[in-house]
Amino acid sequence: MLLMAATVQAQEKKPDWMRWHYLSEEEMYDTSRGLNFVETDPPAGEPRFVAEFEPMQGVMIRYPLGIPTSLVAQLSNNCMVYCIVSSGYQNQAQSSFQGAGVNMDNVTFVNAPTDSYWVRDYGPWYIFEDRNPAIVDNIYNRPRPNDDNISGVFANYWNIPMYGMNLQHTGGNMMEDGRGHGVSDDLVFQENNYNEENVRNKMRDYLGIDPYHVTIDPQGDYIAHVDCWGKYLAPDKILIAQLPQSNPRYQYYEQVAEYFETTNCCWGYPYHVYRVQEPGGYTLAPYTNSLILNKTVYVPMGTNNTYNQDAIAVYQEAMPGYEIVGVNGGSAGWENTDALHCRTRGVMDFDMLFVDHRDVLHGEQEWQESIPVVSKFIAYSGANLKQDSLLVYYSIDGGAYQTAHMTATGNPDEYVGYITGYQGGSEIDYYVFGADESGHRYTQPVFADLDPHHFTMEAHQPAGELVITPDTLWFEQMGQQRQFNIINETNEAVTIIDVVPEVPSFNLWENTFPYTLQAGETLTVTIDYQTAPGKDTYIPYEILIRTTLGDRIVMGMVLNTSLDSGFVIVGAPVVEFNDLGSSPQQVNMQNRFFGSQIPVTVLSVTENETDYLSFEPQGTLPYTVEPADYFYLDVYVNAMVKGYVVTSFTVHTDQNDCIYGVNINENLLSINELSAEAKLYPNPTTSQFTVEGANVAKVEVYNLVGQKIHEADGKTISIDAAEWHKGIYLVNIIEQSGAVVTKKLVVR
């Protein structure tokens, strides 16, 4: 009786031989594997196992089909369909496809004998070896020699290298993220003599898979394939089936889900785990056995419409921007252990553009004034990258997306762009975009602004305040000095980047910027006014104080000219030249000795310190100006200048002098109206800084003694200032129109 019971128990545990995806009865006793397999050395270059969700040029199927011809028609409108078919079946296949409305322009027949339609399991594993496509072959874990030869068939078809990895494996038990992470269940150890070290080493050497996540098989069915219960949807997203708590396998599915919820993805944070509900038992629900093909996901449908709709909703939530298509099994039918994914296999785009931003910003970031985003761009087509299309798109606190151009770092294929303009505590979304000259484009994440990378900038609000007192300076006469104090009442050091008066008549004494003001320290700034004021009415001018806590303003109040105030300037005391080839600028002065009726004699006109100007007075000097009369003077620029020059000239008389400030080329394109895309960042800098803008043509950098120390052309220019002396530099941004705008750069 004991013997009979043991025999019955053994029969109950035998697999269902009718499940051909596993083994036929004949194959049960066939122990041959890999009869034609040839082991090779691993790739000499760096291997990258491409993920299913990356760009695909086509999809492989086998005829006679395991999928509905209606699905073949859908696939043919997505990409090329590579149909493996023996020569004797090709006409039949072609007739069947044409009758189903398949786009025959997108069908390629590859003649080869096969044993089954499970091309996912025996089809080639496509990799890039450095920049070149290749195939990795393994020993197919079924005694089906024709199927096992298909990798070699396609290596010959594509004329690309094939590497023999001496492991028993199967495509249904392998998923990868395209960035070195892979997942299988422990069938891979079982089928390779439980030599875990050997398995991991080969997966690393031939496919670049490290880490290799090998889990239990939660399904506990005959097939033991990962695609029957899980699926990579993105490098940081995994879909895992979920059973009712009453199901005896429930705990095993939860164990696997918990593993990934507490395991970091390739971008440094735990996987986002999405769950798709399955009723369990024999009810058909093969939802993880789907096919991702470019921007479409083909999901096999089960027999319960409620579960079907819920499964589609999960895919839509996890993969925004993708088209989610439910597919019925047709006459071939689906099984929970064998559906759409098992019977298809994507063919990677050999010419894809790969955006590889590994150091993803996530969580809370330490405060800094600008934050770099570093990414590699690899154009497998060999085409040049579009340098003006390598971009970081970013949104601050839910605002509109801005762009930062990325520039080469000097490391192979590596570029950097800077996110700027945020505040402490800001929530920042971003993604990286690239394009090449072959027309390939790609983003990371692939969902772009629909599901971008996200991080938070740490709170940055120092305790206390930066106090400036007094906030107004009063000037009643030429050369008069006034002072204000900058008091650091915060709990940290603050850098005073610069003090910039609105008009050149203000002159700073003794202070040198940038200046680091320690907590509790006071800095006194001294300013005088170099133009003779008048009487009665004051004109307000701004003195801009730039600091690392933001800009501050001190007002300079200058006494204006009025009646009976001598020989005075009429109009603005600053002459601006916006175009070196323009007409001369005329300045006017008036004799306002109305009460005393004193005539004024203009003696001479001299330029102060520089030699850029020439003058044409209204008459021969000396020239007498009677009370209430005017004196006119034409001013010319007679020398080329770099960037913008601030100078001055003096009209000397026998009563008093009139001093004019001159700005040459300063406002050819107003500093306040500089193209919105023209940026200089980070500023201050300790090493590299970038100038970028759609209209930028050239950049010149000068030190404060007027020596040019750097020059470069381009719309986006990255300059290394690491070896420069600390201090202030003038950066001339020259746009395509010829406009020149000078910005101060602080190098720390």
Residues 6+ apart with CB under 8 A from 672: none
Task: Give me 558's structure tokens.
Answer: 């200058």
With the CA atoms of 137, 138, 144 and 148 taken in that order, what torsion angle do they form, in degrees rounded to the nearest 10?
A: 10
Is 83 catalytic? The answer is no
Angle at 10 between CA 7 and CA 12, to 5 degrees: 110
Answer whether 300's CB lies under 8 Å from 241's CB.
no
The three-class DSSP label of residue 259 is helix
Question: For strand 727-735 and strand 272-277, is the pairing parallel, antiparallel, or unpaired?
Answer: unpaired
280 is written with which tokens? 């369990």
Taking the chain, what is the end-to-end CA distance rounded to the nearest angstrom? Answer: 90
Residues 6+ apart with CB under 8 A from 72: 61, 65, 81, 97, 100, 102
DSSP secondary structure code for residue 584 in this structure = P
Of 119, 683, 598, 634, the closest CA to residue 369 belongs to 683
Pair 345, 327: CB distance under 8 Å: no
Give how far Cα 378 sits from Cα of 206, 512, 636, Å. 20, 46, 54
Q: Which amino acid is at 322?
A: Y
Q: At what angle do helices 90-99 and 69-76 cross, to 10 degrees?
A: 80
Q: What are phi and psi of 98, to 5 degrees?
A: -60, -40
SS3 per residue for 464-482: CCEEEECCEEEECCCCCEE
- Active-site hit among 79, 265, 342, 658: 342
Cα separation of 201 and 284, whole Å? 37
- Contact (Cβ atoms closer than 8 angstroms) between residue 444 and residue 430: no
Phi then psi for residue 313, to 5 deg, are -65, -35
What the block records as the tokens of 338 is 């064998």
Work out the widest C-alpha separation in the chain, in whole angstroms. 141
Rounded Cα–Cα distance for residues 705 and 566 (Å): 38
For 216-342, list the strands marked E by DSSP.
Answer: 230-234, 237-242, 272-277, 291-293, 296-300, 323-327
- For residue 526, what are the contacts with CB-CB under 8 A and spacing of at least 6? 481, 482, 483, 508, 509, 510, 511
Catalytic residue list: 342
